[in-house]
């Protein structure tokens, strides 16, 4: 290609440095041998990984995060896929309003949602922190589930289900034999996105915590506010590795662009 | 079973969750929180709208969000453009690189800025090393820190939405404009920009709303000196335990986001029809 | 003999607008019927009602003599070929073709034989293990046909099956479709907007206009004697001439004679002759198409007289043997 866009190239190089530089910096600090956060690190060591992995509140937080993310993802998909089916495959009065309604949790500020759930579910109704956390995260993920699985439905031919019905399959059989398999890439994408969204969430998780129930990002946030050493950098590096792994796996399964085209 | 009944069966569980876990708590909290001392949210709201501190926080939140949106636009749009015009085989990887930070925790991404902007951070070390001054500049807990952190957080959204709109534009259009005598810059401004505008507008709205409602980053990088609406809400709710006040802040934040979203929707509808 | 498909005064409304109005249709066993008409005429709606994807708002649908009006599609024993083919993307060709048999609980051995037979019939046995994405458009078309035929449906429903193929392949597939229908003896209903397709394939042709039957009959009959202007226009007739006696007739351009002062002086005795001026002459190689205007009326004619030029005074003769009377009917479309 002819090099003819110096300004654009410069700006986008700047953007990439701005986006990826800080993340690489954190990784470098995670492997530091120094006692405090410093760059460049004085030497290489894995001591902060040891420190991170043996931290009890991080362990507890990780467990809670995994549990909540997995359960909320499952709930959101179970509730969201039928909605996607209704929105994509049916015509009915108030169609547009229903679609907007199901996307609206993504529009309101997460912190406000967290505050509202804390007040109404935990304080007024005395629902446990874990229960409120699960409800809140499921509400948070529902828009992703509806939208991403809906996108895979919108891309598929509506005649597929009719073809199955015409060949003798009842509505349920047509759904499980044809529609669900056709939606699989969308469901996988939605699951990965939902899981990460829930896992990384801070505002909801921070407001809906209780005794022994606190997620990993919240524990990291607490840690960073009071101590300044490379432990969090080590945790971050591990999370980065896990996220890249999940992203690559998803890419192998269904293709990266599908995950992001939401 | 009738079609109506199946439709109800498909929608009912989701609607039940939304009613119980979203609409009901949301409405009660915003308009009638069960607070012992100050149940009157609208009264609180009125008091806040004349409180210079709250107004200052509001102005800062909007100022920071607008700046972040502009920086994301200036850096993110060209990136999206170059990705969209890169060879097809490389587009996937480039886009993934630009967008995957979205999948990382905000705590992780904000932590990096503590390292860069902190008292013993990268920048202050560099400034000290020049020998021009022996007092490192104050960077952390400033609006600059907020802008830096939030820009890094939300730029992927701008790149993603711009890319999806740019990749729909036939590169042949630019060639046609060049063939008709336009310079590359002019072809870019007169052809590519207007066509990509609706996507860019969506991206800008997402970035703005994200920056207004972001919580972790202002908490860590703005501190108590540079509060935004989000950290102010948290302060009312969890530190001062003034739920009426928290509800009033929540109301301001929600209305701000909804109004900007609505306005941008109107504008892009106009752009699309003109 | 009971007709395979019978529609009694079937109507279908969409949001208050009638797409199909009191339609009667009878399809006999082994017959190939084409539902023909421009888009929006109700042909696809009719097919989808026969298949069971749409319920009529009024009227009855009988399949093999039994009332099937409210029967869901899976209980109608139909074989449908969709415009988009609708091959299941996650299944192999073989699994696609076997799907209907599986739904009917056919035992494994028979299922395999019948799948094999269907694939053989369309000549694609060697592609059994492929996925639909790995096939060309024409191959996908054949697999869709094999899948519909494998269940031995009481009626084969074809929804614009050839419209996604390029012109050459379309003609080839047309012949293929005709062969397979003859070989299997299946009753078939074809929905198409392509009159050539209908003329070539169908034993019986139903031309629809705004949800009602404009004309019905054997293709030769309908083509030779279109019942009204709508049908004539749809079948490609271009000349609509009001004769001095008030009748409106249509005639194909190759039957119109253009007479010049050199060619003859005598006026032919049969039919109608009028004075006209040529306003356009298009040379086509073996002949030319001329546009003649007489008192505001336009007539197209073909002629092998290459001396004809625009502006020339001529006489135009419409032989009585070739003019087709068009009755004025309510269904007559406003001139478009």
On the question of pLDDT at C333 being above 60, the answer is no
Instruction: List CB contacts (< 8 A) between B26 and chain A.
Output: 108, 112-113, 116
Calculate mean pLDDT across residues C146-175: 92
Per-residue pLDDT band for B4 (boundaries 50, 70, 90) equals confident
C9 — pLDDT class (breaks 50, 70, 90): very high
Question: Is A40 contained in some domain?
Answer: no
Kindly give, in sequence order, each residue whose CB lies less than 8 Å from that of residue A107, ignoring residues fewer than 6 positions away: B209, B257, B258, B261
Q: Average pLDDT for residues C81-86, to the nearest whole number?
A: 93
What is the nearest CA distance from A70 to chain B, expressed in angstroms?
Answer: 16
Outline where DSSP puts E strands in chain B. none
Residue B260 pLDDT more than 70? yes
User: Across all residues in chain C, what is the average pLDDT?
Assistant: 89
What is the model's pLDDT at position C16? 84
In tens, the pLDDT along B158-198 reads 999 999 999 988 888 888 888 887 888 888 888 888 889 88
pLDDT for res C124: 94
Establish if A36 belongs to a structural domain. Answer: no
Q: Which of A211-225, B197-211, C248-262 has the lowest mean pLDDT?
A: C248-262
pLDDT level of residue C119 (50, 70, 90 thresholds): very high
What pLDDT, on a 0 to 100 scale, did the predictor assign at position B59? Answer: 95
C291 or B274: which leads in pLDDT: C291
- Contacts across the A-B interface (CB distance below 8 Å): 247
Of A38, A113, A123, the CB nearest to B120: A38
Locate the chain A residue with the closest alpha carbon to B74. Answer: A11
Residue B186: the pLDDT is 84
What pLDDT, on a 0 to 100 scale, did the predictor assign at position C335? Answer: 44
Residue B81 has its nearest CB partner, among A8, A111, A206, at A8
**In the 8-state DSSP scheme, what is residue B221?**
I
Provide long-range contacts, Cβ within 8 A and 24+ apart, for B178-183.
none
- pLDDT tens column, A61-90: 999 999 999 999 999 999 999 999 999 988
Residues of B in contact with A5 (CB under 8 A): 82, 184
Q: Does residue A118 fall inside a structural domain?
A: yes
Contacts of C74 in chain A (CB under 8 A): 165-170, 174
What CATH number labels C5-230?
3.40.50.300
Closest residue of chain A to B154, computed from CA coordinates: A19
Predicted confidence band of residue C320 (pLDDT cuts 50, 70, 90): confident
What is C240-326's CATH number, 3.30.930.10, 2.40.50.140, 2.60.40.1180, 3.20.20.70?
2.40.50.140
Residue with tokens 């529902």: A142
Structure tokens at A233: 């950098």
Q: Which of A95, A164, A168 to mutate to test the interface with C (most CBs of C within 10 A)?
A: A168
> How big is the A-C interface in CB pairs under 8 Å?
73
In this prediction, residue B274 carries a pLDDT of 59
Identify the pLDDT of residue A1. Answer: 42
The answer to whether position A4 is within a domain reads: no
φ, ψ of residue C117 to 5 degrees: the values are: -60, -45
Chains linked to A by 3 or more Cβ pairs within 8 Å: B, C
pLDDT at position C330 is 46
Read off the CATH number of the domain in which A223 is found: 1.10.3720.10
pLDDT at B13 over 60: yes
Q: Tell me the torsion sign for CA atoms A213, A217, A220, A225.
A: negative
**Number of C-beta neighbours around residue A38 at 10 A:** 16
Report CB contact under 8 Å: A166, C79: yes
Q: Looking at the DSSP assignment, which residues form a beta bridge with residue C301?
A: C290
What band does C328 get if pLDDT is binned at 50, 70 and 90?
low
Chain C residues with CB-CB distance to A165 below 8 A? 52-53, 72-74
Q: Is the CB of B32 inside 8 Å of chain A's CB atoms?
A: no
Read off the pLDDT of each residue in C132-147 and give the average, rounded to a whole number: 94
Number of domains present in the structure of chain A = 1
Residues of A within 8 A of B259 (CB-CB) are: none
What does the pLDDT look like over C13-66, one tens digit per residue?
A: 988 889 999 999 999 999 999 999 998 899 999 999 999 999 999 999 999 999
Show the domain range for A98: 56-261
d(CA A84, CA A141): 13
Q: Which residues of chain A have pLDDT under 70?
A: 1-4, 255-262
How confident is residue B35, by pLDDT bands cut at 50, 70 and 90? low
Strands C297-303 and C288-294: antiparallel
pLDDT at A243: 92
pLDDT attached to residue C65:
92
What are the residue boundaries of the structural domains of chain C, listed by start? 5-230, 240-326
Q: How confident is the model at residue C334 (pLDDT cuts 50, 70, 90)?
A: very low
SS in 3 state form for B53-70?
A: HHHHHHHHHHHHHHHHHH
Which of A160, A166, A170 is closest, CB to CB, to C88? Answer: A160
Q: Which of C51, C90, C104 sits opposite A166 (nearest CB)?
A: C51
Residue of B nearest to A133 (CA): B21
Question: Can you tell me the distance from the alpha carbon of C333 to that of C227, in angstroms, rounded to the nearest whole number?
Answer: 13
Residue of B1, B9, B78, B161 to mutate, interface with A, max A Cβ within 10 Å:
B78
Query: Measured between beta carbons, which residues in chain A are less than 8 angstroms from residue B7?
Result: 86, 90, 92
Partners of C241 in the β-ladder: C249
User: B106 pLDDT band (50/70/90 cuts)?
Assistant: very high
Q: Which residues of C touch A155 (CB under 8 A)?
A: none
For residues A134 and B132, the model is more confident at: A134
pLDDT band for position C270 (50/70/90)? Answer: confident
Element (H, E) at C143: helix C137-150
Lowest pLDDT segment from A189-193, C124-128, C180-184, C302-306: C302-306
Say whether A23 and B28 touch across the interface (CB within 8 A): no
Long-range contacts of B228-232 (CB under 8 A, 24+ apart): B228/B57, B228/B60, B228/B61, B228/B64, B228/B146, B229/B57, B229/B58, B229/B61, B229/B253, B229/B256, B230/A109, B230/A111, B230/A203, B230/B61, B232/B54, B232/B57
CA separation for the pair C297, C240 (Å, rounded): 9
Of the two residues C175 and C1, the one the predictor is more confident about is: C175
Residue owning tokens 């209980």: C75
Compute the nearest-CA separation of B242 from chain A (Å): 12
């Amino acid at each position: 290609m002819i090099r003819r866009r110096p300004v654009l190239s410069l700006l986008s190089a700047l953007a990439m440095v701005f986006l990826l530089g800080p993340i690489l910096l954190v990784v470098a600090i995670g492997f530091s041998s120094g006692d405090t956060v410093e760059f460049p690190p004085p030497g290489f060591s894995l001591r902060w990984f040891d420190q991170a992995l043996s931290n009890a509140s991080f362990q507890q937080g990780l467990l809670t995060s995994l549990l909540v993310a997995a359960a909320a993802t499952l709930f959101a998909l179970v509730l969201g896929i039928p909605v996607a089916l209704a929105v994509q495959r049916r015509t009915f009065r108030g169609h547009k309003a229903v679609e907007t309604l199901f996307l609206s949790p993504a529009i309101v500020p997460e912190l406000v949602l967290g505050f509202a759930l804390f007040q109404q579910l935990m304080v007024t109704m005395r629902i446990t922190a874990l229960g409120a956390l699960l409800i809140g995260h499921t509400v948070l993920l529902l828009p992703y589930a509806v939208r991403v699985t809906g996108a895979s439905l919108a891309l598929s031919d509506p005649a597929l289900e009719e073809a199955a019905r015409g060949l003798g399959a009842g509505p349920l059989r047509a759904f499980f034999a044809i529609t669900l398999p056709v939606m699989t890439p969308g469901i996988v994408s939605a699951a990965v996105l939902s899981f990460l969204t829930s896992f990384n969430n801070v505002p909801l998780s921070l407001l809906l915590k209780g005794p022994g129930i606190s997620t990993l990002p919240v524990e990291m946030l607490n840690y960073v506010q009071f101590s300044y050493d490379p432990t969090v950098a080590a945790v971050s590096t591990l999370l980065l590795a896990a996220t890249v792994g999940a992203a690559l796996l998803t890419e192998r399964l269904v293709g990266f662009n599908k995950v992001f085209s939401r | 079973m009738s079609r109506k009944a199946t439709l109800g069966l498909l929608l009912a569980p989701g609607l039940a969750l939304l009613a119980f876990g979203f609409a009901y708590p949301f409405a009660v909290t915003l308009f009638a929180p069960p607070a012992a001392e100050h149940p009157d949210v609208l009264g609180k709201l009125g008091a806040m709208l004349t409180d210079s501190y709250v107004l200052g926080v509001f102005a800062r939140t909007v100022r920071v969000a607008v700046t972040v949106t502009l920086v994301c636009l200036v850096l993110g749009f060209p990136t999206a453009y170059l990705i969209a015009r890169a060879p097809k085989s490389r587009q996937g990887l480039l886009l993934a690189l630009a967008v995957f930070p979205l999948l990382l925790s905000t705590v992780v991404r904000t932590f990096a800025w503590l390292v860069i902007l902190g008292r013993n951070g990268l920048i202050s070390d560099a400034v000290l090393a020049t020998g021009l001054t022996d007092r490192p500049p104050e960077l952390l807990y400033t609006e600059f820190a907020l802008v830096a952190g939030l820009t890094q957080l939300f730029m992927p959204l701008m790149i993603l939405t711009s890319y999806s709109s740019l990749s729909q534009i036939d590169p042949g259009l630019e060639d046609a404009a060049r063939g008709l005598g336009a310079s590359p810059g002019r072809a870019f401004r007169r052809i590519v920009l207007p066509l990509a505008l609706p996507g860019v507008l969506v991206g800008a709205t997402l970035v703005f709303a994200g920056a207004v409602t972001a919580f972790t980053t202002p908490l860590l990088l703005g501190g108590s000196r540079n509060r935004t609406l989000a950290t102010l809400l948290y302060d009312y709710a969890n530190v001062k335990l003034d739920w009426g006040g928290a509800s009033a802040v929540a109301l301001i934040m929600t209305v701000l986001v909804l109004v900007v979203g609505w306005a941008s929707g109107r504008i892009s509808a106009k752009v699309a029809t003109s | 003999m009971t007709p395979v498909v019978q529609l009694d005064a079937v109507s279908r409304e969409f949001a208050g607008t009638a797409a199909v109005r009191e339609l009667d249709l009878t399809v006999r066993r082994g017959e190939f019927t084409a539902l023909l008409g421009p888009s929006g005429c109700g042909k696809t709606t009719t097919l989808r009602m026969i298949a069971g994807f749409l319920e009529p708002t009024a009227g009855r649908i009988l399949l093999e003599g039994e009332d099937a009006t409210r029967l869901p599609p899976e209980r109608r024993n139909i074989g449908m070929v969709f415009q988009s083919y609708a091959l299941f993307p996650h299944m192999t060709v073989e699994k696609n073709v076997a799907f209907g048999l599986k739904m009917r609980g056919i035992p494994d051995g028979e299922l395999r034989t019948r799948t094999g037979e269907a694939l053989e019939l369309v000549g694609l046995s060697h592609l059994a293990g492929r996925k639909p994405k790995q096939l060309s458009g024409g191959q996908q078309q054949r697999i869709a046909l094999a899948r519909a035929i494998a269940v031995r449906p009481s009626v084969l429903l074809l929804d614009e099956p050839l419209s996604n193929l390029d012109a050459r392949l379309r003609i080839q597939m047309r012949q293929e479709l005709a062969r397979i229908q003859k070989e299997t003896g299946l009753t078939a209903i074809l929905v198409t907007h392509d009159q050539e397709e209908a003329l070539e394939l169908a034993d019986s042709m139903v031309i629809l206009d705004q949800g009602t039957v404009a004309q019905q009959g054997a293709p030769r009959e309908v083509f030779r004697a279109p019942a009204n202007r709508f049908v004539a226009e749809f079948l490609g007739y271009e000349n609509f001439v009001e004769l001095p006696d008030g009748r409106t007739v249509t005639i194909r351009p190759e039957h119109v004679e253009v007479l010049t002062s050199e060619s003859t002086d005598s006026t032919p005795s049969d039919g109608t002759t009028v004075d006209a001026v040529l306003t356009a002459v298009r040379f086509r190689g073996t002949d030319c198409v001329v546009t003649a205007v007489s008192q505001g009326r336009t007539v197209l004619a073909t002629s092998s007289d290459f001396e004809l030029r625009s502006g020339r005074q001529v006489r135009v003769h419409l032989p009585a043997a070739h003019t087709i009377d068009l009755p004025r009917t309510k269904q007559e479309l406003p001139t478009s």
